[in-house]
Amino acid sequence: MKISLKNLFSKYRMQILVTFILLTIESILLVLIPYAIGLSIDSLTNNNFDGLYILGSILFLILIFSTARRLYDTRVYSKIYALLCTSMIKKHKKDEVDTSIIVTRSTLIKELVDFFEHDLTEAYTSLVGILGALLMVFFISKTVFIICLVSMLLIFLVYILSEKKIFDENSILNTELEDRLNVIKNRNIFLVNHFRKIARSMVKLSDIESYNYIAIQLLIAVIIFGALFIGIESNLSTGEIFAMLTYVLNFSFEVLILPLIFQQFIRLKEITTRINKS
């Protein structure tokens, strides 16, 4: 079996789907929190505690589902890593792949499994949070919804423009990592040059991430100030204004996570391409 994110999901889809079912429930409950807080504010204003009961119930359910998912994830993904790494090492030894490359790739495979356990779940939570925030904002203010939607499209454009640069720099970085053992064993004279190349690639990747972050932050600033002014000028209740601004802030925070996940996804794309060549 070729190693790829798609093939990993296909082979272990039942175990991974259980994680995402739990994660979906948890994410939907998280999306409901600002609405429940806004409801609590309006109900307390009228000397009513129904909103507080709803909020308390949501928080309790989040605790149950998030704990269950974390306990399950650790056991499942540890097993997947052990099976995947063993299979890769056996195949590479059979193909007489250099030991330095095998050692490095056994570490790189851990990044693939970690992507499912941490990055993909975080990306999924962010995506549900973004869609949930957009949906709730749509019902509160159509104008703010349109501002968020246009900003989202511009953010995707930023990602598309930086994809090739991220892939190329990861290719240079991983080539140097695979050659590390040989450099240390046989070519001490090239050690400085070897680590300089690694440092250079890491700096370039960090620069790309920083530029993406700046572009996204500027867009987010427009969203937040726009929502603030529109909320003040509207005829919404105090609870509705609070809920809308909270959803806009949640949307902004979730969007900021995406550049890191996107960069890791491109890195894994390069890793799987590299491993499957051998």
| DSSP string for 104-137 | HHHHHHHHHHHIIIIIHHHHHHHHHHHHHHHHHH
Task: Render pLDDT for 172-205 as a digit per residue (tens, 0 to 9).
Answer: 777 777 677 666 666 566 667 777 777 888 888 8
How high does pLDDT run on average in the chain? 79
* Total domains in the fold of the chain: 1
Task: Render pLDDT for 43-56 as a digit per residue (tens, 0 to 9).
Answer: 887 778 887 888 88
Q: What is the mean pLDDT of residues 163-177?
A: 79
**pLDDT value of position 63:** 92
C-alpha distances out from residue 135 to 10, 25, 36, 130, Å: 31, 17, 15, 9
Name the band, by pLDDT with cuts 50, 70 and 90, for residue 15. Answer: confident
pLDDT of 65 over the 70 cut:
yes
Q: What domain range is 204 assigned to?
A: 5-277
C-alpha distances out from residue 222 to 39, 150, 219, 225, 231, Å: 27, 11, 5, 5, 14
pLDDT above 90: percentage of residues in the chain: 3
**pLDDT value of position 61:** 93
Buried b (16+ CB within 10 A) or exposed e, 169-188: bbbbbbebbbbbbebeeeee
Tokens of residue 44, six digits: 């307390």
pLDDT of 240 over the 80 cut:
no
Query: Which of the pair, 262 or 247, is modelled with greater confidence?
Result: 247
Task: Render pLDDT for 86-124 as a digit per residue (tens, 0 to 9).
Answer: 877 787 777 777 776 777 777 777 777 777 777 777 778
Rounded Cα distance, 141 and 224, in Å: 13
The reported pTM is 0.63
Note the helical H segments in the chain: 5-11, 13-45, 50-94, 99-114, 120-140, 142-178, 180-186, 191-233, 238-277
Q: What is the mean pLDDT of residues 118-131?
A: 80
CATH of the domain at 81: 1.20.1560.10
Alpha-carbon torsion angle 220, 223, 228, 233, nearest 10 = 170
Buried b (16+ CB within 10 A) or exposed e, 145-157: bebbeebbeebee
Q: What is the mean pLDDT of residues 248-257?
A: 80
